[in-house]
Structure 1
């Protein structure tokens, strides 16, 4: 594999991680689910032993959560290219949540952020690079 091909794959996969966080904060569940393969698997950092598998189950999991205001911050993203059609990554996530202000101003932030990480697996599909797995876990107790 040429170095420029490896760099392109790394960039595409890192972009998916950041795009996912932005879509989550925008509550764009359809767009998020489309970032997974048809049989994609996800575990939330707060429920690492409870896998959600498949686009239909993912959509149900996202839309059944109570609404909230959130801001995800992704850091320390390292993508490992395994082949021309598969890659993996590790990234750290900070999750800030809050609730709407009664006066319509900036939301009120809840106590400290959740700190965790994701171990991702990616596959190249006809739709482009997609998550085949997103396994989250917490680094510190909430």
Structure 2
């Protein structure tokens, strides 16, 4: 692999991670699911949720508005280890959300990722969400509720 290819791969993986946060915040769960390999997995042991494949990820996302009014996820770059057409990495996350019962929730978490190069570019083959800090105190500010985009169902 050339140095240029390694740089391009890192940029593409960072863009994938950023698009994930954008899709989650914009409640675009079809797009979010498309960021995973066909057999990709999203694991959130603290909830607990184990989602395998794009269909399960889409279905979970479509239920998300029943849990929270608004959701903000700020993602921070982490390590990426390239291994040819696969890679591993970590991304650091800070989240703020207001639950539908008006309860607050803030956390700091780490995504432990596995990536695969596909015909459509880099995709998540696995994303495991590890919460490191939680604050469930009521939020003192206000947020904007993003309308749920149509899904064509």
After TM superposition, the score normalised by the length of structure 2 is 0.78
Q: Which residue of 1 aligns with 2:25?
A: 25
Indicate the RMSD between aligned Cα atoms, in angstroms: 2.1
Q: Which residue of 2 aligns with 1:56?
A: 55
Q: Which residue of 1 aligns with 2:12?
A: 12
Q: Which residue of 2 aligns with 1:104?
A: none
Q: What count of residue pairs does the alignment treat as equivalent?
A: 132
Distance 1:38 1:127 in 2: 11
- Uncovered stretches (5+) of structure 2, i.e. residues with no partner: 136-153
- Contact kept, 8 Å, 1:45 with 1:117, in 2: the verdict is no
2:78 alignment partner, SS class:
strand
Distance 1:99 1:60 in 2: 19
After TM superposition, the score normalised by the length of structure 1 is 0.84
- Contact kept, 8 Å, 2:114 with 2:126, in 1: the verdict is yes
2:41 alignment partner, SS class:
strand
Encode CA deviations 1:96-137: one digit per residue, 9 max, x unaligned. Answer: 11369xxxxxxx8935x2111001111111111111000111
Distance 2:99 2:53 in 1: 30
Q: Which residue of 1 aligns with 2:76?
A: 75
Equivalence map 1:30-41=2 (5 Å): 30-41=30-41
